[in-house]
């Protein structure tokens, strides 16, 4: 993953995507970057620009989902004074700002059909026309676009122009989600953790406890690297001690016994994508998330589950055994027995 001009990752799937971007950078052709949220699409777009012959010209970014449909065309192509209500003076659009450079269009799949038609002409002929103008303007712009939508499916259903998709897909770089990047979760967690420790002026980096490393590896990461960075930095900042390994991590920052409940009239509604992702994160973080069909040894499965619960609770209470015992409804002696049984002595972690 790239952060501040540095790519971090060692998995083959990730390195293949970076290599493809590096090879495509020198080609003066459109590139589509596909990937889930948080996989680094904008960072790949920056790499495509910096390694191209346009590196010293503007890199202009526009999030197509951030503006209402009525303003997207004016934002992309500019407008003349009086072209519409509120247009008191002429304004150059993103295409003119990116002349001789690169225009990065994020969330491409949200473009209206009208904007898609004007974009097609700009890509095909190198001309744009400001809204309210009669003469086209020549522009030399390389297009890099990104989306997490299935554009071929949208084109097949008539929701995205097939001819525009053909023009933009000279090269398609699909970024792998974090959950399939073998070996990268630990590398990235260590990197983000050390950075946060330095920001907090810690004298040393204590690392993560074993059960935290395992939890990080087992999480599905619906938010990918962006989510991982937030989870790790939050864990380090909350731990606030460099004399013992970080032993507690919270995947869902909204998880709380005092979390407000939604109003009655909203409870029957289908969950939003954001709520679904939060629920997925919380379920993955819970020690109760067990694939029951995969259990072949009941005693071993129960022991593993008990160990995970115990390690999570100890980390949450910073190895204060009396607080942990109270939280789990155990006596102090019962907790000590469990700690010895599972080899969870503080020095070992």
What pLDDT is stored for residue 299 in this prediction?
80
What pLDDT is stored for residue 169 in this prediction?
95
What pLDDT is stored for residue 144 in this prediction?
98
Centre a 10 Å sphere on the Cβ of residue 82 and count the other Cβ atoms it contains. Answer: 12
- At which of 138, 153, 176 does a domain end? 176
Position 105 in a domain: yes
CA angle 319, 302, 207 (to 5 degrees): 35
Q: Which residue positions in the chain have pLDDT lower than 50?
A: 1-3, 273-288, 347-349
Position 274 in a domain: no
Based on the fold, state whether residues 244 and 124 are members of the same structural domain: no
The whole-angstrom separation of Cα 152 and Cα 118 is: 20
Position 289 in a domain: no
Residue 187 is part of which domain span?
182-256+296-348
Based on the fold, state whether residues 94 and 221 are members of the same structural domain: no
Based on the fold, state whether residues 160 and 80 are members of the same structural domain: yes
What pLDDT is stored for residue 292 in this prediction?
65
- At which of 149, 176, 203 does a domain end? 176
Position 277 in a domain: no
CATH number reported for the structural domain that contains residue 340 in this entry: 1.10.8.60
What pLDDT is stored for residue 312 in this prediction?
77
Based on the fold, state whether residues 43 and 165 are members of the same structural domain: yes
List CB contacts of 9: < 8 A, sequence separation 6 or more. 1, 15, 18, 181, 184, 187, 188
Q: State how many domains the chain has.
A: 2
Give the residue among 55, 29, 53 at the shortest CA–CA distance from 142: 29
Position 119 in a domain: yes
Position 276 in a domain: no
CATH number reported for the structural domain that contains residue 116 in this entry: 3.40.50.300
Based on the fold, state whether residues 199 and 76 are members of the same structural domain: no
Position 149 in a domain: yes
């Amino acid at each position: 993953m790239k952060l501040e001009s540095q790519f971090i990752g060692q998995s083959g799937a990730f390195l293949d995507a970076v290599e493809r971007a590096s090879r495509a950078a020198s080609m003066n052709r459109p590139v589509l970057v596909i990937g889930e949220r948080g996989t680094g699409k904008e960072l790949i777009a920056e790499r495509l620009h910096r390694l191209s012959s346009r590196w010293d010209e503007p890199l202009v970014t526009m999030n197509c989902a951030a503006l209402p449909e009525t303003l997207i065309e004016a934002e992309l192509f500019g407008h003349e004074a009086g072209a519409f209500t509120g247009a008191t003076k002429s304004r150059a659009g993103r295409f003119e700002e990116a002349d001789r450079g690169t225009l990065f269009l994020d969330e491409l799949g949200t473009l209206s059909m009208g904007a898609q038609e004007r974009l097609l002409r700009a890509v095909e002929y190198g001309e744009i026309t400001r809204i309210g103008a009669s003469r086209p303007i020549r522009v030399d712009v390389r297009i890099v676009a990104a989306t997490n939508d299935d554009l071929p499916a949208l084109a097949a259903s008539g929701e995205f122009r097939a001819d525009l998709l053909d023009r933009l897909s000279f090269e398609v770089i699909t970024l792998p989600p974090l959950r399939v990047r073998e070996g990268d979760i630990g590398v990235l967690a260590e990197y983000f953790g050390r950075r946060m420790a330095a920001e907090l002026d810690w004298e040393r980096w204590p690392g993560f406890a074993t059960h935290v490393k395992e939890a990080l590896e087992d999480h599905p990461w619906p938010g990918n690297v962006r989510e991982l960075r937030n989870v790790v930095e939050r864990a380090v900042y909350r731990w606030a001690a460099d004399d013992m390994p970080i032993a507690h991590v919270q995947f869902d920052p909204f998880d709380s016994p005092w979390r407000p409940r939604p109003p009655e009239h909203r409870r029957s509604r289908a969950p939003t994508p954001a709520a679904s992702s939060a629920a997925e994160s919380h379920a993955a973080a819970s020690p109760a998330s067990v694939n029951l069909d995969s259990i072949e040894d009941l005693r071993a499965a129960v022991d593993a589950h008990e160990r995970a619960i115990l390690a999570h609770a100890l980390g949450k209470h910073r190895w204060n055994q009396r607080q942990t015992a109270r939280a789990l409804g155990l006596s102090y002696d019962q907790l000590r027995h469990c700690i010895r049984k599972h080899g969870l002595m503080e020095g070992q972690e």
